[in-house]
């Protein structure tokens, strides 16, 4: 087992990473020395089918536990599901010494974290990620639900008390979910670590990734995320750099319909567009064709559906949390490993997106 410590302005907490560590959950939770009267275990239908009862039994040996399942997929991050979970917490007579455990992927983590942040004005919660994608979302304290007009528009910054990352659970991931999570690993490499990106480029197919590589990717990805969050907990500065690829990615997710494209596939599209803008607007020197072909080999989409108009996507981007006074703050690369926050008007970004789409369909 490897342990990282995340330090932010408001808190400090451990991240435990290792094969099979869910079976040590009681000992690891006890080591936090938190008052813990009861646990609301929130998971999704798919994780519950595979591991829900096992985790319930492990925790029930020491605490009073209630397990609640939500639908699998992005549709669970709704105000309706959020309200149902609050009702479950109240009905279970949870108090301020109770704890919520998010046992699932990024959707469950965001949703359960927002429930914890707002129940009785905030109670403890623990992240127990079950996907590769969640290596990014489980660390840093962003918790939220979606609105039909945009992703993660209703939420808070609320740090977990710990992250327990059992990498053994990744062995049952469908390939599309592994690919989705890999997109966030790639993002971290682009914005922070050129040598790491060169290591990743040696992977030409997802089936090439072995357990040792997977564990190392998770450790490096969380280390990068932790370093950024340490400097900027509430996205007042460099934390915005973690949104590389996400401005268009979130717009694509919302326009396609949540659940119709994975978060990682949408972010991969967004990164390919961001690389184009980095080259054209920032003068970033790179072999962009190499990266485009690499994304294709890994199975990511490389063009937006033809029936989705550019103007609709730009209007979606105007609702992005980084937009200020009608100006879209768009993350670009000055060079691999060096990032800049570029301000574009709506018309400028629409022009870049039209040109990139024409290139991709040529």
Q: Supply the DSSP symbol for 48.
A: I
Binding-site residues for NAD(+) sit at: 72-77, 106-110, 130-131, 142, 151
Tokens standing for residue 221? 């990805």
CB within 8 Å of 289: residues ≥ 6 apart:
none
Residue 140 backbone class (left: φ over 0; alpha: ψ -120 to 50; beta: rest):
left
Tokens standing for residue 285? 């020197």
End-to-end CA distance of the chain: 49
Specify the 3-state DSSP secondary structure of 102: strand
Q: Which helix (H) or strand (E) holds 277?
A: helix 263-282
Residue 122 backbone class (left: φ over 0; alpha: ψ -120 to 50; beta: rest):
left
Alpha carbon separation from 82 to 147, 149, 151, 258, 319 (Å, rounded): 12, 17, 15, 16, 22
Interhelix angle for 263-282 vs 346-361, to 10°?
110
CA-based nearest residue to 188, from 152, 154, 146, 219:
219
For β-strands 142-147 and 150-157, DSSP reports them as: antiparallel
Cβ atoms of 276 and 352 within 8 Å: the answer is yes
Q: Which helix (H) or strand (E) holds 81?
A: helix 79-91
Binding-site residues sit at: 72-77, 106-110, 130-131, 142, 151, 184, 246, 263
The whole-angstrom distance between residue 212's C-alpha and the CA centroid of its chain comes to 22
Report the sign of the C-alpha dihedral through residues 251, 256, 260, 264, in that order. Answer: negative
Binding-site residues for Zn(2+) sit at: 184, 246, 263
CB within 8 Å of 202: residues ≥ 6 apart:
none
């Amino acid at each position: 087992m490897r342990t990282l410590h995340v330090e932010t302005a408001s808190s400090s907490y451990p991240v435990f990473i290792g094969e099979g560590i869910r079976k040590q959950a009681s000992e690891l939770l006890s080591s936090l020395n938190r008052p813990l009267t009861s646990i609301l275990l929130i998971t999704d239908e798919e994780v519950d089918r595979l591991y829900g009862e096992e985790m319930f039994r492990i925790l029930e040996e020491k605490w009073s536990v209630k397990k609640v399942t939500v639908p699998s997929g992005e549709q669970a991050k709704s105000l309706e599901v959020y309200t149902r979970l609050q009702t479950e917490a109240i009905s279970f007579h949870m108090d301020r010494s109770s704890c919520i455990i998010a046992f699932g992927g990024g959707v469950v983590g965001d949703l359960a974290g927002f429930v914890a942040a707002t129940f009785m004005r905030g109670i403890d919660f623990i992240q127990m990620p079950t996907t590769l994608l969640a290596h990014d979302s489980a660390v840093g304290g962003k918790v939220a639900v979606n609105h039909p007009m945009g992703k993660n528009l209703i939420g808070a910054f609320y740090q977990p008390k710990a992250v327990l990352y059992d990498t053994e659970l990744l062995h049952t991931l469908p390939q599309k979910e592994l690919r989705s999570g890999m997109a966030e690993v790639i993002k971290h490499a682009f914005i922070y670590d050129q040598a790491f990106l060169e290591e990743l480029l040696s992977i030409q197919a997802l089936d090439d990734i072995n357990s040792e590589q997977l564990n190392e990717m998770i450790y490096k990805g969380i280390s990068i995320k932790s370093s950024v969050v340490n400097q900027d907990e509430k996205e007042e500065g460099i934390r915005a750099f973690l949104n590389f690829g996400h401005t268009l990615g979130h717009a694509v997710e919302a326009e396609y319909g949540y659940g119709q494209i994975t978060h990682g596939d949408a972010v991969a599209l967004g990164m390919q567009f961001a690389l184009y803008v980095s080259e054209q607007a920032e003068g970033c020197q790179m072999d962009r064709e190499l990266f485009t072909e690499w994304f294709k080999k890994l199975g990511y989409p490389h063009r937006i559906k033809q029936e989705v108009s550019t103007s609709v996507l730009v209007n979606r981007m105007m609702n992005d949390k980084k937009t200020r006074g009608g100006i879209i703050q768009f993350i670009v690369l000055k060079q691999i490993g060096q990032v800049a926050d570029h301000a574009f008007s709506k018309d400028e970004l629409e022009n870049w997106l039209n040109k990139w789409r024409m290139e991709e369909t040529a």
